[in-house]
A and B are shown apart, each in its own frame.
Chain A
Amino acid sequence: MADPTGPGRNPLEPIFSPQSVAVVGTTRVPGTVPFDIFHNILKDDFQGTIYPVSPSAKSIAGVKAYKYILDIPDPVDLAVIVFPSSVVKLAMEQCGQKGVKGVIIISAGFREVGPAGVQREQEIKDIARKYGISFIGPNCLGVINTDPAVHLNASFARRMPAEGNIGFLSQSGALCTAVLDYAHAKNIGFSKFVSFGNKADISDIDLMLSLKDDPATKVILMYLEEMTHGAAFVDAARRVIHEAGKPVLVLKSGRTSQGASAAASHTGSLAASDEIVDAALRQAGVIRCQTVEEMFNNAIALAYQPLPKGRRVAIITNAGGPGVLTTDAAIHERLELAAFSDKTRDIFKRSLPVTANIKNPVDVIGDARADRYRVAMGSALADENVDGALVILTPQSMTDIDTIAEEVCNVAAAHDKPTYCSFMGETDVASGIAILQRRNIPHYILPESMCRAFARAHDFRTEKGRRLTPAAQFADVDPPAARQLLDAAIASGRTYLTPSDAMKVLEAYRLPILQSAVAQSAEEAARVAAAIGFPVAMKVESDDVVHKFDVGAVVLGVDTPAAAAAAYATILANVKAHQSGARVHGVFVQRMAGAGDEVILGVKRDPAFGAVVMFGLGGLFVEIFRDVAFRIAPIPLEHIREMMHEVKAFPILTGARGRPHRDTAAVEECLQRLSQLVVDCPQIQELDINPLIVHTQGDGCAVTDARILVASP
């Protein structure tokens, strides 16, 4: 599909805002998809003209039916195809002949059913391309647009949602119906509601970019089961967030790590697909949610209330215990309890009972009525030290719940700071909650959810105002030299670079390698080691020996010429004993690094996201705790710093418990250079620098071992 934000006509316009709709393949049988789609459009008051197209019926629900779409005398903007998959191509062909530019294919039986379905899907794509048709689906629930000027429910959902400012895009049609039911119960409205199914033409990315420019949509929610074009998704999400200032919330299923176990390198096995998705979404500024409930908890905060300018909250409660619970939750989410100004405290003193707690959380006492909430909320929100109010209510015998709810809404409306509520309970507070929901005050059953939503809303405000520096482009690098080594390895049928070639590739990007040479004999090993300076590390120089430690092909701490000669012989003997067919080109002799902490830097090329860069501390931290962080290259410096800080053991490098402060700036530069290397050299499939020894601050770091897996890009 063409870029919906590009010049010319928006290809989604006929789908979202058609003047006329034909339902192609409908029937007279209520309770079937073909009938219910037509009936939904009809009963939900579509503002345009609707035409049933049925090969056998003369009319549907009292509306004259046409045998073919070509028989309709007037132009048709949108066709909703509900025929069985075997004849969708016939319907599609006629849509093209009719000049229809937008199609929704509800029918299942395409890519999702196997090879025959893949072929059917390709046939309809070919027809669409021939006629310039944009289509949603196949295998979807349909499309809903609540705009009163359109009011289109081209779906087989049970109900048309209320108008709202949340756009919902889903790969699962079944989840859509559950979400509509959930949202109805909570009085949550939508601007656009799209089940995009197999996304054979219009993709999730096209739809997201369309909602970016949709004035009715303030917040975009997405349910995804796959991210086949991950890098493009990340770019599009960044545009939505930074150009339009709209938050994107993603619920992504499929948190398995299939395939990771087959990867050969550390980075390959650690970078499971879901961790890459997680890193990519974080890098894009997307708010990833784990459940439907969490997604809507965050969405109503972002959609209904001003974004918090800071993390300082005022907690107002009529109950001590819930106030403490909310405080705990707030601190857990790194929110701060606002310190009220003297003026605010004076008002509290004058207006609240002497038994009230006028510090934060403000306890207006169990017998509080609406007046106390009004004073406490109003004063708190007017205080310049407060960024938002979290209002708690528990239902005592004298608590006038509905009046308090109305008052909370009134006070909130008078301030440009966010107010979120938690009326705790279920039956007694139900009517109050309904008032809050009706007046767009975010309500949460649990204070924990409320605090989390506040934190995410503040995070989003920070993210959308953030301007990242472009990823570093060092001028002192030598891309042709690196590419030549990588291409030569591929041309000679090698999968891995030899140790010396791997070091040369890193050297071409000015990564801090240690002095080294390859020896072809024991005598040369002794001579080379002496020239480099003792102690040295020695390892086999081979195309085939990947796990060198496992076959005894590495000797560390070699400190005399005689020991170097002996190590040479030992290494070759061990390789011969354990991997006799391996191609061996000698022994790689390398200066031993000085003292420091070990970290691992890695790269894995992901089919959806491109080059994924990993950072972690070495040894146990990476092997046992999987304490690593990822970003997608190219990586801005801000994200390099963030990924380093995401690693739990990072304080080990920054002087924790009296340890020496290591040269983290040198690690940052290594990650920047690595990011540039893997963007420049698509031949690199996986890369481990393990370990990188990080010396004391100011002394830099050193690559002591590297492994590079290559393939034709």
Chain B
Amino acid sequence: MDRSEIQNRVTSVVASVLGIDPAEVLPASNFVFDLGADSLKSVELVAGFEEEFDIDLDEDKAREVQTVEGAVDFIAQYVK
């Protein structure tokens, strides 16, 4: 799976979980500061990524990911 596909699917998950327009989801967007994810939404985002990509993420490390770009990099380590 190439990076742009991961990027598109991450954007889609983020927009869906947070209930926002995909156009607002930029690579540099911070989940909390820019997109308004609270702690519950952060858990839902991790679950959404796992379902979307059919992977099991390391939850501790996933919690350290702050931006959309960071999430793409993180997920890229799990998908072929």
Stretch of B6-14, B33-41, B52-60, B71-79 lying at the A interface? B33-41
In angstroms, Cα B23 to Cα A443, docked, is: 64
A29 to chain B: closest CB distance in Å? 8
A90 to B36, CA, bound (A): 13
> Could you tell me the distance between the alpha carbons of A84 and B30 in the complex, rounded to whole angstroms?
12
User: Can you name the residue of chain A whose Cβ is closest to the Cβ of B31?
Assistant: A87
A54 on the interface (CB 8 Å rule)? yes
- CB interface residues, B 11-67, toward A, < 8 Å: 18, 20, 30, 32-36, 38-39, 66
User: Does any Cβ of B come within 8 Å of A56's Cβ?
Assistant: yes
A residues 79-135 in Cβ contact with B at 8 Å = 83-84, 86-87, 90-91
Among B18, B20, B33, B39, point to the contact of A87 (Cβ < 8 A): B33
Bound state CA distance, A25 and B39, in angstroms? 13
Tell me the nearest residue of chain B to A67, going by C-beta: B34
Is there contact, CB below 8 Å, between B18 and A83? no
Known: A86-B66, A87-B66. A56 touches B33 (CB 8 A): no
A379 part of interface (Cβ distance < 8 Å): no
Chain B positions within 8 Å of A87 at CB level = 30, 32-33, 66
Q: By the criterion CB–CB under 8 Å, are A83 and B33 in contact?
A: yes
> Are the C-beta atoms of B38 and A27 separated by less than 8 Å?
yes
For the complex, what is the distance from the CA of A27 to the CA of B33, rounded to whole Å? Answer: 12
Contacts A56-B18, A56-B20 given; does A86 touch B38 at CB 8 Å? no
Is B20 a contact of A91 with CB atoms below 8 Å? no
Other-chain residue from B33, B36, B38 in contact with A91 (beta carbon distance below 8 A)? B33
Q: A87-B30, A90-B30 are in contact. Are A55 and B36 (CB under 8 A)?
A: yes
Would you call A57 and B36 a contact (CB within 8 A)? yes
Q: Which residue of A lies closest to B36 (CB)?
A: A56
| Chain B minimum-CB-distance residue to A57 | B36
| 8-46 of chain A: CB within 8 A of chain B | 25, 27
Give Cα A84–Cα B18 distance, bound, in whole angstroms: 17
Q: In the complex, which residue of chain A has the Cβ closest to the Cβ of B63?
A: A86
Residues of B within 8 A of A55 (CB): 32-36
Contact assessment for A86 and B32 in the assembled complex, using a CB-CB cutoff below 8 Å:
yes
Q: Bound complex: CA of A90 vs CA of B33, how far in Å? A: 7
> Scoring A residues 589 to 632 as 1 if CB is less than 8 Å from chain B, else 0, what string do you get?
00000000000000000000000000000000000000000000
Please indicate the chain B residues that have their CB under 8 angstroms from the CB of A54 in the complex: 36
A83–B38 CA distance with the chains assembled, in angstroms: 9
Shortest C-beta distance, A27 to chain B (Å), equals 7
Q: Chain B contact residues: over half helix, strand or loop, or mixed?
A: loop
Q: For residue A105, give the distance in angstroms from its CB to the closest CB of chain B.
A: 14
> Which residues in B have their C-beta under 8 angstroms from that of A90?
30, 33
Taking residues whose C-beta sits less than 8 angstroms from the other chain, chain B's interface range is 10 to 19
Inter-chain CA distance A376–B4, complex, in Å, is 91
CA A25 to CA B35, docked complex, whole Å: 11
CA distance A56 to B21 in the complex (A): 11
Question: Considering only CB atoms, which chain B residue lies closest to A29 in the complex?
Answer: B38
List of A residues within 8 angstroms of B34 by Cβ: 55
Contacts of A83 in B (CB 8 A): 32-33
A84 in complex: contacting residue of B20, B32, B35, CB < 8 Å: B32
CA distance A25 to B30 in the complex (A): 13
A83 and B37 CA atoms in complex are apart in Å by: 11
Nearest Cβ on chain A to B26's Cβ, whole angstroms: 13
Nearest Cβ in chain A — how far from B29, in angstroms? 9
Most-contacted residue by chain A among B30, B33, B66 (CB, 10 A): B33
Q: What is the distance, in angstroms, from A139's C-beta to the closest C-beta of chain B?
A: 18
| Most interface-central of A27, A57, A86 (chain B CB within 10 A) | A86
Tell me the minimal C-beta distance from B79 to chain A in angstroms: 26
A398, B39: Cα distance in complex, Å: 63
A56 touches which of B35, B39, B66 (Cβ 8 Å) = B35
Min Cβ gap A59→B in Å is: 14
Q: Whole-angstrom distance from the CB of A385 to the nearest CB of chain B?
A: 68
Residues in B with CB closer than 8 Å to A56 are: 18, 20, 35-36
Q: How many angstroms from the CA of A54 to the CA of B32 in the assembled complex? A: 10
Residue of chain B at shortest CB distance from A89: B33
A86 to B18, CA, bound (A): 19
Q: Using CB atoms, name the residue of chain A closest to B18.
A: A56
Contact with B along A359-379 (1 / 0, CB 8 A): 000000000000000000000
Q: Who on chain B is nearest to A54 by CB?
A: B36
Min Cβ gap B80→A in Å is: 30
A86 to B66 alpha-carbon distance, docked (Å): 8
Give CA–CA (A90, B34) in the complex, Å.
Answer: 10
Q: How far is the CB of B48 from chain A (nearest CB, A)?
A: 17
- State the Cβ distance, B8 to closest chain A Cβ, in Å: 22
Q: List A contacts of B33 (CB < 8 A).
A: 25, 55, 83, 87, 90-91
**Of all chain B residues, which has the CB nearest A55?**
B36
How many angstroms from the CA of A351 to the CA of B25 in the assembled complex? 86
Q: CB-nearest residue of chain B relative to A88?
A: B33
**A54 CA / B33 CA spacing, docked (Å):** 8
A55, B18: Cα distance in complex, Å = 11
In the complex, A87→B66 CA distance in Å? 9
Report the Cα distance A83→B20, complex, angstroms.
20
B residues near A84, Cβ cutoff 8 Å? 32, 39
Cβ of A67 to closest chain B Cβ, rounded Å: 8
> How many angstroms between the C-alpha atoms of A137 and B20 in the bound complex?
33
A86 to chain B, nearest CB (A): 6
Name A32's closest neighbour in chain B (CB-CB): B38
Complex contacts, B36 vs chain A, CB 8 Å: 27, 54-57
Q: Which residues of A contact B66 (CB under 8 A)?
A: 86-87
Contact residues in A for B35 (Cβ distance below 8 Å):
55-56
Cα–Cα, bound, A2→B28 (Å): 36
Q: Across the interface, which residues of B come within 8 angstroms of A57, CB to CB?
A: 36
Cα distance, A25 to B32, chains bound together (Å): 9
Residues of A within 8 A of B20 (CB): 56
Q: Which residue of A lies closest to B32 (CB)?
A: A87
Across-interface contacts of A91 in B (CB, < 8 A): 33
Closest to B19 in A: A56
With CB as the reference atom, state the residue of chain B lying closest to A34.
B38
Q: List 22 A-B pairs, Cβ < 8 Å.
A: A25-B33, A27-B36, A27-B38, A54-B36, A55-B32, A55-B33, A55-B34, A55-B36, A56-B18, A56-B35, A56-B36, A57-B36, A83-B32, A83-B33, A84-B39, A86-B32, A87-B32, A87-B33, A87-B66, A90-B30, A90-B33, A91-B33
For the complex of A and B, the 9 pairs showing the least CB-CB separation, nearest first, are A56-B36, A55-B36, A87-B33, A90-B33, A87-B32, A55-B34, A84-B32, A55-B35, A87-B30
Which positions in B face A, CB cutoff 8 Å? 18, 20, 30, 32-36, 38-39, 66
Besides the known contacts A56-B35, A87-B30, A90-B33, 16 further A-B residue pairs in the complex with CB atoms under 8 A apart = A25-B33, A27-B38, A54-B36, A55-B32, A55-B33, A55-B35, A56-B18, A56-B36, A83-B33, A84-B32, A84-B39, A86-B32, A87-B32, A87-B33, A87-B66, A91-B33
